[in-house]
Amino acid sequence: MAMALAKILIVDDDPSIRNLIRRFLSKQDYQVESAEDGKTALAMFEQFNPDLVILDVNLPDVIGYNLCQEMQNRTKVFVLMLTSRADEADKIRGFSQGADDYLTKPFSLGELEVRVGAILKRQRAVTTAEKQRLTFEKLVIDPERREVTINNQLISLTALEFDLLRFLASHPGRVWRRSELIQEVWDYEYVGDQRVVDVHIGQIRKKIEIDATQPVLIQTVRGVGYKFEAPNFNKTQQ
């Protein structure tokens, strides 16, 4: 049975960019809608229920970062931020606000296609091996439901934060370089500052560690990268 076409909402106040992306993605067989401001985008978001939002940072009535958070609070939708700001601080702010990826204007349509495809791959059906629930004392990672709980309390993670945590937790004790994590979790050759990994690790730590400044579960291996240290680890099949 054919998979349903992914739905993409484009939010940009520049009609030339908005229409260019819409035409291009429509030819890739995605369902595409667009909006020119935050108010219209939210109304369209509720009606269209997109799988991915391509979101400009500078909108006439709202800051894109805030709109990103509001949309993700509603459905945990994937968000690809678009901006003319090339500064790394802006990118880091975008990632810390929940963006799954960040593309700087001007960009090529080929690069956009790769980024969109990589993000939407996270919707794929999980394999039998990936369905195994990971339990670390009070921390439980459920790949099938894409849920994380601590003491039976649901922890709110973005799609990318969940994928990064699940990947690290699936290989307890192994040290991963930032470049390896980007390749495994982002699933494409990321061109840019590898500090994006640090930002996402920091966000996850705030949510799952007792003290994010002295992490126990996700540990930094100085000069190399990160590893997940598992207390009383076991896997349970769904």
The pTM is what?
Answer: 0.67
Q: How confident is the model at residue 51 (pLDDT cuts 50, 70, 90)?
A: very high
CATH 1.10.10.10 fits 129-236, yes or no: yes
Output the CA angle 167-64-148, nearest 5 degrees. 25
Topology (CATH level 3) of domain 7-123: Rossmann fold (3.40.50)
Residues 158, 8: Cα–Cα separation, whole Å: 18
DSSP states of 25-59: HHHTT-EEEEESSHHHHHHHHHHH--SEEEEESB-
- The pLDDT of residue 176 is 96
Q: How confident is the model at residue 76 (pLDDT cuts 50, 70, 90)?
A: confident
Percentage above 90 pLDDT, the chain: 49
Q: Over the stretch 213-231, which tens digit does the pLDDT of each residue have? A: 999 999 999 989 999 998 7
Place of tokens 């040290």: 175
Of 111, 229, 97, nearest to 160 by C-alpha is 97
Residues 160, 95: Cα–Cα separation, whole Å: 10
Domain boundaries, the chain: 7-123, 129-236
Kindly state the helix (H) or strand (E) to which residue 226 belongs, with its residue range.
strand 225-228
